[in-house]
Amino acid sequence: MSKLWGGRFTQTAEQWVDEFGASISFDQQLVKEDITGSIAHVTMLSKCGILAEEEAETIKKGLETLLAKAENNELDFKVEYEDIHLNIEKMLTDEVGAVGGKLHTARSRNDQVATDIHLYMKKEVTSIIEQLNRLQSVLVQLAEKHVETIFPGYTHLQRAQPISFGHHLLAYFWMFERDKERLSESLKRINVSPLGAGALSGTTFPIDRELTAKLLDFGAVYKNSLDAVSDRDFLIEFCSNASMIMMHLSRFCEELILWSSQEFQFVEISDKYATGSSMMPQKKNPDMAELIRGKTGRVYGSLMTLLTVMKGLPLAYNKDMQEDKEPVFDSVKTLKGSLAIFTGMMEEITVNKDKMEKAVSQDFSNATELADYLVNKGIPFREAHEIVGKLVLRCIENHIYLLDLPMNIYKEASSCFEEDVYDFLHPYKVVERRNSLGGTGFSAVQAAIEEAKKRI
Ligand code: ARG
């Protein structure tokens, strides 16, 4: 079978070589973008008088037929036509005859593939932003229910200070808010048209790049033809943003895994998002959370793949760049899947308020508060720290907690202690009072919820 570019060849590659070079197995995902890009291109060619109106009309009709077929999954792609661009061009000439061969006037696959992937990225980034929004609203709803649910806050995974569970959830809300900002900001660079850059140097035909950009709803055009066909930094940026989101999801998953263990029992993951063991009848495993944590590695891997593919490439297009697609497609699929599963899992999660509250009544997470109590009475913080440290040690030795210490022991430690210390130390009160801006106090969290709602 002769190639669409076969004129200067006297020998043909064997099939296995063709298979190695072909990208159709994966770039067929770009079929709609490819045809849409071609429709804009041919419209422009006719408007600029490069193609006769009837010719352009015939080509456009043929492309529209192919687009309809693509929507119904009726197109049959072939490895012998290498990639999505040549497969579509072949199908077009089969559909409309030799005039189909005029579509590629003033265009190269190099600006064509770049256009396709910009269109694809724009669509996917927009839908990922919507998914993040959805997750954020689930988090805010849950946070609203748990403003006054107190549980241990940790540093070094050691009990640190009691906090509001709603406050903890909102911490993730803000991470996802920044992720959303990063994606929105990146759209500025994605929403740029490479079409009309040609193979690398532009074209002698009187094309109108602004017009194709407008027809494809791009906000700008690349200013340099070499840059237009060589740029993949918008894909690297996407993989970096995707990695960041996966990292945030992964940390959250790690917490859910810990919290749903017998040791914590702070939450229960719905049966709908858990699995059993083939051997141990009692098991309920947080598989979905673990998988998201695991899949984070894939997305990081894709980022590294792209950075490495691009690092040594001379300008302009190189076939190496065909390797950009699979990691990007995989990252999009993995990220969207993870966001959907995670959001569903959070919607169905059961929060064991009692276990959380019980945890903070049986620990020393109110020790800072006890030191602050003394500070309020004029004792320097460092000295208060030492006094409380000794009291904690005494409790540990006697298997009790700070609220169990009798008044005489408190008095012995410092004459500043009075009866009101018991109320002051109550974990609920401890949390309630922390109303510094961005703190875990109930009114601070309530204010943060109002603020958060404005972002979704
Ligand atoms: N399949 C190619 C890719 O994905 C399309 C561009 C090919 N251009 C070329 N001059 N070989 O990168």
262 and 138: one domain?
yes
Residue to mutate, 322, 323, 326, ligand 1, most ligand atoms under 8 Å from C-beta: 322
Whose tokens are 């999954």? That residue is: 73
Centre of ligand 1 to C-alpha 397, Å, is 72
User: Nearest residue CA, atom 2 of ligand 1?
Assistant: 322
Q: How many domains does the structure of the chain reveal? A: 3
168 and 115: one domain?
yes
Q: Name the catalytic one among 156, 399, 415, 436.
A: 156
State pTM to two decimals.
Answer: 0.94
Q: What is the C-alpha separation between 207 and 335, in angstroms, rounded? A: 38
434 and 308: one domain?
no
Residue 433 is part of a domain; what is its CATH number? Answer: 1.10.40.30
Centre of ligand 1 to C-alpha 274, Å, is 43
Report the pocket of ligand 1 as residue ranges, CB < 6 Å: 23, 27, 83, 109-110, 113, 317, 319, 321-322
Residue 96 is part of a domain; what is its CATH number? Answer: 1.10.275.10
370 and 348: one domain?
no
Q: What is the pLDDT of residue 279?
A: 87
Last residue of a domain, one of 325, 352, 379: 352
Looking only at the bridges linking them, the beta strands covering 220-221 and 192-193 are parallel
Per-residue 3-state assignment (H helix, E strand, C coil) for 16-65:
HHHHHHCCHHHHHHHHHHHHHHHHHHHHHHHHCCCCCHHHHHHHHHHHHH
Annotated catalytic residue 156: yes
* Residue 4 located in a structural domain: no
52 and 22: one domain?
yes
Q: What is the pLDDT of residue 3?
A: 83
Centre of ligand 1 to C-alpha 162, Å, is 57
Q: Which domain holds residue 168?
A: 110-352
Spell out the per-residue pLDDT of the chain, length 456, in tens.
Answer: 578 888 899 888 889 999 999 999 999 999 999 999 999 999 999 999 999 999 999 999 999 999 999 999 999 999 999 999 999 999 999 999 999 999 999 999 999 999 999 999 999 999 999 999 999 999 999 999 999 999 999 999 999 999 999 999 999 999 999 999 999 999 999 999 999 999 999 999 999 999 999 999 999 999 999 999 999 999 999 999 999 999 999 999 999 999 999 999 999 999 999 998 888 889 899 999 999 999 999 999 999 999 999 999 999 999 999 999 999 999 999 999 999 999 999 999 999 999 999 999 999 999 999 999 999 999 999 999 999 999 999 999 999 999 999 999 999 999 999 999 999 999 999 999 999 999 999 999 999 999 999 999
Last residue of a domain, one of 51, 74, 105: 105
Q: What is the C-alpha separation between 203 and 180, in angstroms, rounded? A: 38
213 and 307: one domain?
yes
Last residue of a domain, one of 105, 134, 169: 105
Residue 251 is part of a domain; what is its CATH number? Answer: 1.20.200.10
Burial class (CB in 10 A: 0-12, 13-18, 19+), 223: exposed
292 and 394: one domain?
no
57 and 155: one domain?
no
275 and 323: one domain?
yes
18 and 150: one domain?
no
82 and 116: one domain?
no
Contacts of 218 (CB under 8 A, 6+ apart): 118, 191, 192, 193
Annotated catalytic residue 277: yes
